[in-house]
Structure 1
Amino acid sequence: MSKTPTADQLRNRLVDEILTERRVPATVERAMRTVPRDAFLPGLDLENAYTDQAVTIKDNPGKPLPLSCASVPSVVAVMLEQLDARAADDVLEIGAGTGYNAALLAEIANHGSVTTVDIDPDVALHARTRLNAAGYEHVTVIERDGLLGAPENAPYDRIIATVGIWDIPAAWWDQLKDGGRLVLPLRWRGQTQSVALTRRGDQLVSDGMELCGFVPIVGQNGEKTSPLDADDTIRVHYDEDQDVDPEALAATLRAGKPALELPSAQIIGGEEPFDGVWLRATAGDDRVCRLEVTPRALEQELLRKPAMPVRSPVLVEGNSLAYLTVTREDAEAERPFRLGAAAYGPQAEELARDLVAHIDAWGSDRSAVLRMTVTPAGHVPAAGHVISKPESRITLTWCRGQAAGA
């Protein structure tokens, strides 16, 4: 009869699993092997506490996403690697969650300080209670709007956000040291990437991006969502600066005409990522949004299946749209899928060709990366494609080859 594994065994098993997919710094590995995640998730059985999955700790009634949750451990590891915190660093965390991430930071910055902020009183209290119980009383927990930061303990060597950020607040600039690092799940053009940025005077310059998904921070409303059918089974997500007419798009889809389909020259394997297509498109095309299609819409065959129904890049212009598709061809055993575009509306052919051009541009050098430079609003932005937000200017440039950037 096998023995039930202990919390220590389960925790080390989880870390071992994470390390099979990605190497992380020794400081991060040691912290994840030390901090008991189950202590921050009371009431959850040990097996689930040490599974690589998110755990909701507070629902958000009437909303599709929870108000707060414990992040996926492998994503936590990636973001801590991006943060590159050192032993004597002063660290600010935006979004206290369970308190688990703050405990990891306290292990890594064990000769510095950790301050964590959350707008929700229940979440802040949970984090404070669990941190105390686990022996991390020295972590500062503040109940406050995270967009304001924590000036009382500033300046910080490192700032990390564990909630989705649509615009970088001016207050954070004042609290981050020159040369310091900011890691945040940044949202633009319908997608979210964990972006690692280093402050260089009045610029934040990226040196890494990782695809992720996070609950949006409370208080930023620049990202819009609109249904494209009466039953709300098809939705478009877009930024406030984009010219999107949901009613016109809905009318196009109601017309019921078949999609215009156009293949690209790019083929991929079943496990081969292609989110670089989305990144590549945002570096010069302000028509890029996100299309969300529910299983119900697919069952009713309301439109051609997107590459990733819950989150596919889509080009939108007027009453026309074109989105990414994946078609199985089996011509090559190791790479049996072809990327392409499906489009609807009067400008379907033009948009499909433009999307295929983005796909092929990505495919011409799949090791190329997106470089992001952020400046505060009112400052001259860096050279490149600029996305203007109320408190910041995001400049995007596409750099060929790994040596060119992030």
Structure 2
Amino acid sequence: MDDTTPIENLRNQLVDQISAEQPLPHAIERALRTVRRDLHLPGLDPVDAYSDKAVTIKENPNGPLALSCASVPSTVAMMLTQLDAKPAENILEIGAGTGYNAALLSEIVGPTGTVTTLDIDPGVALHARQALNRTGYEHVRVIERDGLVGAPEHAPYDRIIGTVGFWDIPHALRAQLADGGRLVLPLRWRGQTRSVALTRHGDTLVSTGMKLCGFVPIIGQDGERTTELAGGTVRLHHDQDQPVDPDSLSKALAAPATELWTDVRVGRTESFDGIWLRATAFDDTVCRIQATQQALAGGIRRPVIPGLSPALVSADSLAYLIAERDDADPERPSKLGAASYGPNGSELARRLAAHVTAWGADRTAVPHLSVHPIATPDSGLPAGHVINKQDTRVVLSFGR
């Protein structure tokens, strides 16, 4: 006889779906089958609460991205696997959301562990507090506070997890992580975001892996810029250290594109985000291009994904990733190339094509990443490509 309730069936079906797509450690699977996501999302249809999708809990009146979301459950599971929390550990979470992730963490660390979750928004913090109380996790600490400063009064932490996007890793969080402890957070550089797992070794954070993800950005970091081109129909999303000349680039986009094709092909559902990631480990001109429907209708060459494609931009020229379908290979029907504009666009296209070709030869490779204090001299950094941020210097390299 099946004694499970309809909601338990929905929850188990969701976990079955997630576990079929990614291996789940026993403790994480047990937590996912135990914690009631629907009670952290009151008023939502349980079918939607147990669907593998994000749910907005607070809209942003000043922008297109929500202020707070309940993350996609499969992404939650992926990041918890990266975190690898153990019983009795002390955990800090940045971004309380609905309180659901904190409840999962509480299940994982058990009655002898501790979980503290922070949120800068009073309404979000209150929502998390009430949901945790309602679901039996009154012992989880919920603090209304800027996540960038952490909670030093309860440090050191064995693990720290960020459930909002970070452009940089503040010194305060590294200082509150125990030496040998693990930090997992969505880290953004050159227009793309990865959930990066980092282990602290003294003042250095060293990656143990990274996964593609997308999160609303944390409030208080402003390292990325948006520059509008061609009357606002094309936008570049770039880091603060990347100079962009909108007038020259708009003029360049008024001329026809030059196309350069590679021998690299992709399947219908094959991910090629690794091209963008690889390029960031070698090239300081990488950013994101966004072409509106108005731009496409006006003749701009269609980027491979109009809203989210890698581009190389330098002074008065740019090149970005494009794709075209043909019948030469039914298994991989799309070939990849670069569209370029401006006097130096052809050189940028050659560089982008080289990144595409290198990715095509090893499609699962990810770079080694380490994060160092901003005052670290070049002589104190490992070999690799350096990206300077506000508090840190990030070093990326392949082949280590």
TM-score (norm 2): 0.96
Alignment of 1:139-150 (within 5 A): 139-150=140-151
- 1: CA distance between counterparts of 2:309 and 2:284? 16
In the alignment, structure 1 residue 259 sits paired with structure 2 residue 257: yes
Q: Which residue of 1 aligns with 2:361?
A: 364
Q: Which residue of 2 aligns with 1:104?
A: 104
The amino acid across from 1:278 in the alignment is W
Q: Secondary structure at the match of 2:74?
A: helix
Instruction: Give 1:315 deviation, angstroms.
Output: 0.2
- 1: CA distance between counterparts of 2:130 and 2:72? 21
- Write the deviation string for residues 24-72 of structure 1: whole angstroms up to 9, x where unpaired: 1111111111100010111111111111111110011120101111001
Instruction: Give 1:366 deviation, angstroms.
Output: 2.2
The amino acid across from 2:280 in the alignment is T
Give the % identical residues.
62
Q: Secondary structure at the match of 1:292?
A: strand
Matched length: 393
The amino acid across from 2:343 in the alignment is P
The amino acid across from 1:124 in the alignment is A
In the alignment, structure 1 residue 83 sits paired with structure 2 residue 83: yes
Instruction: Give 1:233 deviation, angstroms.
Output: 3.3
Q: Which residue of 2 aligns with 1:233?
A: 233
- 1: CA distance between counterparts of 2:171 and 2:397? 23
Q: Which residue of 2 aligns with 1:169?
A: 170
- 1: CA distance between counterparts of 2:295 and 2:29? 43
- 1: CA distance between counterparts of 2:74 and 2:294? 31
Q: Secondary structure at the match of 2:367?
A: strand
- 1: CA distance between counterparts of 2:62 and 2:156? 38
Task: Kindly indicate whether the alpha-carbon contact (under 8 Å) linking 1:381 and 1:394 is maintained by their aligned counterparts in 2.
Answer: no
Q: CA, structure 1 residues 258+5, in 2 after alignment: closer, same or farther (shift >3 Å)?
A: farther
- Write the deviation string for residues 331-355 of structure 1: whole angstroms up to 9, x where unpaired: 1111111111011111121111111
- 1: CA distance between counterparts of 2:118 and 2:188? 20
Q: Which residue of 2 aligns with 1:310?
A: 307
Instruction: Give 1:5 deviation, angstroms.
Output: 7.2
Instruction: Give 1:367 deviation, angstroms.
Output: 3.4
Instruction: Give 1:249 deviation, angstroms.
Output: 1.5
Q: Secondary structure at the match of 2:338?
A: strand
- 2: CA distance between counterparts of 1:24 and 1:310? 32
Q: Secondary structure at the match of 1:387?
A: strand
Alignment of 1:213-228 (within 5 A): 213-228=214-229
- Write the deviation string for residues 205-231 of structure 1: whole angstroms up to 9, x where unpaired: 11111111100000000111122132x
Task: Kindly indicate whether the alpha-carbon contact (under 8 Å) linking 1:374 and 1:381 is maintained by their aligned counterparts in 2.
Answer: no
- 1: CA distance between counterparts of 2:138 and 2:290? 43
Task: Kindly indicate whether the alpha-carbon contact (under 8 Å) linking 2:338 and 2:349 is maintained by their aligned counterparts in 1.
Answer: yes
Q: Secondary structure at the match of 1:213?
A: coil
Q: Secondary structure at the match of 1:369?
A: coil
- 2: CA distance between counterparts of 1:233 and 1:212? 26
Bigger CA drift: 362-371 or 263-272?
362-371
- Write the deviation string for residues 162-212 of structure 1: whole angstroms up to 9, x where unpaired: 000001000011100011000010000000000011111221111111111
In the alignment, structure 1 residue 328 sits paired with structure 2 residue 350: no
Instruction: Give 1:142 deviation, angstroms.
Output: 0.4
Q: Which residue of 2 aligns with 1:280?
A: 278
How well do the aligned residues superpose, as a CA RMSD in angstroms? 1.3
Q: Which residue of 1 aligns with 2:42?
A: 42
Bigger CA drift: 194-203 or 365-374?
365-374
The amino acid across from 1:374 in the alignment is V
The amino acid across from 1:98 in the alignment is T
- 2: CA distance between counterparts of 1:343 and 1:250? 13
In the alignment, structure 1 residue 180 sits paired with structure 2 residue 147: no
In the alignment, structure 1 residue 347 sits paired with structure 2 residue 344: yes
- 2: CA distance between counterparts of 1:61 and 1:132? 29
The amino acid across from 2:12 in the alignment is N
Q: Which residue of 1 aligns with 2:14?
A: 14
The amino acid across from 2:86 in the alignment is R
Instruction: Give 1:296 deviation, angstroms.
Output: 4.0
Alignment of 1:143-158 (within 5 A): 143-158=144-159
Alignment of 1:114-133 (within 5 A): 114-133=115-134
- Write the deviation string for residues 248-289 of structure 1: whole angstroms up to 9, x where unpaired: 212322x2x221111112111112111111111111100000
Task: Kindly indicate whether the alpha-carbon contact (under 8 Å) linking 2:274 and 2:364 is maintained by their aligned counterparts in 1.
Answer: no
In the alignment, structure 1 residue 248 sits paired with structure 2 residue 236: no
Instruction: Give 1:116 deviation, angstroms.
Output: 0.3
Q: Which residue of 1 aligns with 2:200?
A: 199
User: What residue ranges of structure 2 are gaps of 5+ in the alignment?
Assistant: none
Task: Kindly indicate whether the alpha-carbon contact (under 8 Å) linking 2:227 and 2:244 is maintained by their aligned counterparts in 1.
Answer: no
- 2: CA distance between counterparts of 1:199 and 1:273? 31
TM-score (norm 1): 0.94
The amino acid across from 2:230 in the alignment is D
- Write the deviation string for residues 114-153 of structure 1: whole angstroms up to 9, x where unpaired: 0000000000010001100000000000000000001011
- 2: CA distance between counterparts of 1:368 and 1:280? 8
- 1: CA distance between counterparts of 2:291 and 2:5? 40
- 2: CA distance between counterparts of 1:220 and 1:135? 34
